[in-house]
Structure 1
């Protein structure tokens, strides 16, 4: 798949926290490097401020960064308070048909298959913006997992990191966006439709659910506006998972579908990157996006700590 919905509500936070303030973005093909102000005389007893900016590495890392994987996983946990708050306010976050079962898990995998199949279509040829989405996804994967094969042990590390981040993102994003936001919007729309007149519950609930799926998917896409085309694709994915949740009434199905899509995206992207030539990897490393630049700088800081 051409997307990595791993850190939905924190994209803007990452850019603000990790990117230098009041600094222009690098043009494609350029790297953002830390720059120091010219040396100047300092007043007595004054000391130079520490340089907290980390340079974006020129190349792609060969090996996984477990510190960065832990950082990404911790960021997905920022959505947990949203789900807990919704549950505390009486929202049935898990869905009216909630069931923790192998059948529900299988349903989630089956619902993921159409979206996974779509990821193998040559979208780049039909929609030029998808080239940026692909490059963004590849840079994120390379930054977290590296771009070199390393035997069975490396594959075990990649599989473990992928499972950790994908499962957490799938469960918490679906709980926050579908279990809380979608149900909340649907309830509000249904209340407005019934306001002042008697209305049949069935049609009103269906209309309210359809509106909620669209509204929440739009917000989901807006929070994934990482590069050209990414927001639209994320909105379509959000609508798809919203329909899955609405049709099954079981958050586990939507969460498994979401996690499966993300996991396949990570693994297939890692496999593709490891098979690339050195020239292709260098070309990818030269690409610049706000979120991936921030993550690459974060990896450099974490590994240097």
Structure 2
């Protein structure tokens, strides 16, 4: 079983504890603050500040918190800053991975050096810093430009099928990023070649390549990876906004199916909505609207 270990500062450790509390286990190892399990990963948080991630998704789960670790992670980003960020390049990002309800969506966008200024003027930046209504407005403006993009949606029914076949969420994401990038490259005019391709990093590059290879596709070896890439790359920021926009659209469709607004994330409110759906429509519906392997299913039932 693979594992990752990071050490966090006190303030960041509190955030991690709060995040994993809904998935906590009653059994805790000695000197630990919290033991939890979610998304195929066992997490143990120790009094020393160390956090242990074990399981098939250990790398992706640890990557969520690496920027707050006692390591020069941000410095590493600057040291490895690709030289093509202000040139024509492709960026890719995803949405919906931590949400119980709704699909995973991935977008890849090719932005030229000329288009970068225009997209910034339209308000393109990290989608996590904006509400859904703002994202909708900006994306609608973005889609009127001549930028080349591709967006993919992995619906819940297919997601659950792949998960039961042994696919980790990391493999699904890598598979989608790979195909979104390939789609964009296929749409470019003859002779147009990006200066680089940047993926918002959710796992180590070698793991990403292994994930793609495990799906039967040949991985590209010309990719660059950065954590929080949307803060540095206009292409990735545009991709993050399109991915979020598509995710919100799908959530609105699923909300109409159940008859009320589905909650994003994986909180206790989600657990209550699961009970409501199961009581009124039956458990089978969850397979079409949710990531059923999340701990929320078991807790709600």
Larger radius of gyration: 1
Structure showing the higher strand proportion among its residues: 2
TM-score (norm. length: structure 2): 0.29
What TM-score does the superposition give when structure 1 sets the normalisation length?
0.28
More helix by percentage: 1
Query: Which one scores higher on RCO, CA 8 angstroms, separation ≥ 6?
Result: 1
